[in-house]
Amino acid sequence: MADVLVTRRFRPPTETVLASLAVAACYYAAGRLGLLGRLVVEGVVVTPIWPPTGVAVAALLLLGVRVWPGIALGCFLVIASLTTPGLTTVVTVVSNTAAPLCAFLLLRRVDFRLDMARLRDGTCLVFLGGFGAMLISSTAGVGLHVATGSLEKSEFWPVWLAWWAGDTMGVLLVTPLLLAFAGAVGRFRLRRWMEAICLSLAALVLVPLAVLSPMSLLFLVFPLLIWTALRFQLAGSVLCALFASVLTTFEATAGRGAFLHLSDVEIMLKLQAFNGSAALTALLLSSVITEQRTTRRSVRRACEELAEVLEHLAAGEPSPNPPTAGSGATSPGGRRDP
C-alpha cells in the first residue's frame, strides 16, 4: 500500500516532466523545419512561418501551463543548434516563452474553446493569440539585434514586421491544426475518407500548379480552401492552407515561380500577404461553418424533443423527459453540464 501511495504521490511531477520533454522535442523539430524556409531581410535571418510558436500555444492549450519549461528548453535547443549560447540567449528564450504564455492566458481569459466551434474562437485566436501575443517575441528579438549593434535602428521596422508575421503565421496555421487533430480521432466514416482522398489529390495537383507557375496563379488556391472548409471544417481547411503556405514559402526562398525576379523585400511582402490571406480564410470560414452546423443541430434536436412532448400531451400521457431548468446548458469548454 505504501508503494501505491508513493507512486500516486509522485505521478503528477513525473507526468509534467515527460510532457515538458515531449513539448521540447516537438518545439525543436518544428524549429528545424521552420529554418528550412528562412529568408534574409536587412541582413537578419527570418522565417515566413515559424512553426514552434504554433506548437507552443497548442501545447499550453492542450496540456496546461505546466509545460512551459518544455517551451523554454526547446527554444534553447534551437538556438544552440545555430550558434553558441550567450547572454543574449536568455532574452530570446524568455521572450519566446512569454509570447505563447501570454497567448494562452489571453485565450483562457475569453473562454476559448479547443474545438473552435464558434466564430469568436477563431477571431480570438487570430487577434489575441496571433496578432497580439506575438508582439512580445518579435519586439524583443529585433530589439535585441538593435541593442547589440547587429542591426541599424533605421532597419528596425522591416525586420520587425517580417519577424512578427512569421511568429503569427505559426500560430494561425499550426495551432488550429494540432487542436483539430487532437479532437478528431475516429470521427471520419469511410465515405468521408474517400472524399478526403479525392480532395487531397486535387490539392496535390492544383497547389503546385498555382505556386510553381511564373504567371502568379496563387489565387487558384482559395477555391480549394473554401471547398475544404465547407466539407471538413477546421482540420481540412487549415491542413490545406498549411500545405499551400509551406510550398509557397519554399518557392519564395528559392526565388522561383510566382516570386521570380523579385527583391527580398518584395518576396517577403507577397509571401506574407498570401500566407496571411490563406490562413485567415481557412480559419475564420471553417469557424463560421462549424458554428452554423452546431446551431442547426441544436435547433433540430429541440424540434424533435418538442414534437415528442406534443405527441405525449395529445395522447394524455406525461412527458417522458420533462425539461428542467438549465438542461442542455453547455459549459465554456464545450462539455454539457450534468
Walking along the chain (338 residues) 10 residues at a time, the average pLDDT comes out as 41 85 96 88 83 96 94 95 87 95 96 90 94 95 90 88 93 94 63 80 89 86 92 88 92 85 84 93 91 89 88 69 48 43
* 68 contacts 57 by C-beta, under 8 angstroms: no
Cβ atoms within 10 Å, residue 143? 15
* 62 contacts 114 by C-beta, under 8 angstroms: yes
- The answer as to whether 328 is a domain residue is no
- The answer as to whether 165 is a domain residue is yes
Alpha-carbon span 25 to 27, nearest angstrom: 5
Task: Check residue 4 and give its pLDDT.
Answer: 39
- The answer as to whether 129 is a domain residue is yes
* 174 contacts 211 by C-beta, under 8 angstroms: no
Q: What's the pTM value of the predicted model, to 2 decimals?
A: 0.83
Query: Residue type at 310?
Result: L
For 296, the domain range is 2-314
Quote the longest CA-to-CA distance of the chain: 85
* 199 contacts 232 by C-beta, under 8 angstroms: yes
Task: Check residue 337 and give its pLDDT.
Answer: 42
Alpha-carbon span 240 to 211, nearest angstrom: 13
**DSSP bridge pairs for 41:** 44
Task: Check residue 65 and give its pLDDT.
Answer: 94
- The answer as to whether 324 is a domain residue is no
User: How many structural domains is the chain composed of?
Assistant: 1
- The answer as to whether 331 is a domain residue is no
- The answer as to whether 128 is a domain residue is yes
